[in-house]
Amino acid sequence: MDQQAFEEAIRSSWAVRESQAAKKLLSGKTDTGGRGAVTGGAHLDALTELLANVFRDAGFPPDAVRCKSGIELPGYFRPTKQWDLVVLHEEELVAAIELKSHVGPSFGNNFNNRNEEAIGSAVDLWRAYEHGLLGRLRPWLGYVLLVEEAKGSTRKGRPRSGTLPIDPAFSDTSYLDRYAILCKRLVDAGLYDATCLVTSSREPDAPIRQPDPEIGFAAFVGSIAARIEKVGVPRPRLN
């Protein structure tokens, strides 16, 4: 996977987000916490398209790789769930990918929401698969998370312990650290085949970081390639 294309896709997300926020402002609508930049959608489209091309380049026909319409999958605890990228092959679900972002200024308010979404979506899909709603082929499941690199996300602290002591792994951690733990454990628990955590600030030309190669973009794409080999879709002919 071209690293430059990946970084351009990440920067595109910030450009689209700012554009959506500006349109909200011009229309006279106001949102708090940058929500207007999110509710417009499309800010992760470039990254979604980049991942879709991994499957297309491997030989999947265009109508098998869906990332804009017709991508609702049956659930078990709910009728359907919309995924950002769905890949089909001979009427079987090959892969489903969820792409999310988390920006400030308040990281604490939505951290648990992102956790619950990631866990719940995977549990729902696997239960639907177990009940024969997604075909016989075991699907490949991926999760991508872009987190804003800011004081609120990088500052370390100790989470409140509540009634019982917390897992020591979360002691003296930032929200970025906790997201890294989440992404690794989602894979360790078998909820996702691969996860990817990316961080960047909204400043132009800001560095794009991947906190851990294990949950980096190269490893994520490598997992997709391994899945494609297993499915056996023909590779495109070389020129």
Q: Does any domain span residue 3?
A: no
Q: Does any domain span residue 31?
A: no
pLDDT of residue 108: 85
Q: Does any domain span residue 69?
A: yes
Q: Are 21 and 29 in contact (CB under 8 A)?
A: no
Q: Does any domain span residue 39?
A: no
pLDDT of residue 233: 62
pLDDT of residue 38: 42
Residues in the chain, pLDDT under 70: 1, 19-41, 69-70, 232-239
**Model confidence pTM above 0.95:** no
207 upstream amide cis, omega within 30 of 0: no
Q: Does any domain span residue 22?
A: no
Domain count, the chain: 1
Q: Are 180 and 211 in contact (CB under 8 A)?
A: yes
Tokens of 131: 């009940």
Rounded (10°) angle between helices 45-57 and 217-231: 40
Look up the domain containing 121 and give its range: 44-231
Rounded Cα–Cα distance for residues 158 and 156 (Å): 7
The CATH number for 115's domain is 3.40.1350
Q: Does any domain span residue 10?
A: no
Q: Does any domain span residue 110?
A: yes
Q: Using alpha carbons, list the distances in angstroms from residue 66 to 71, 82, 192.
A: 6, 11, 19
Q: Does any domain span residue 27?
A: no
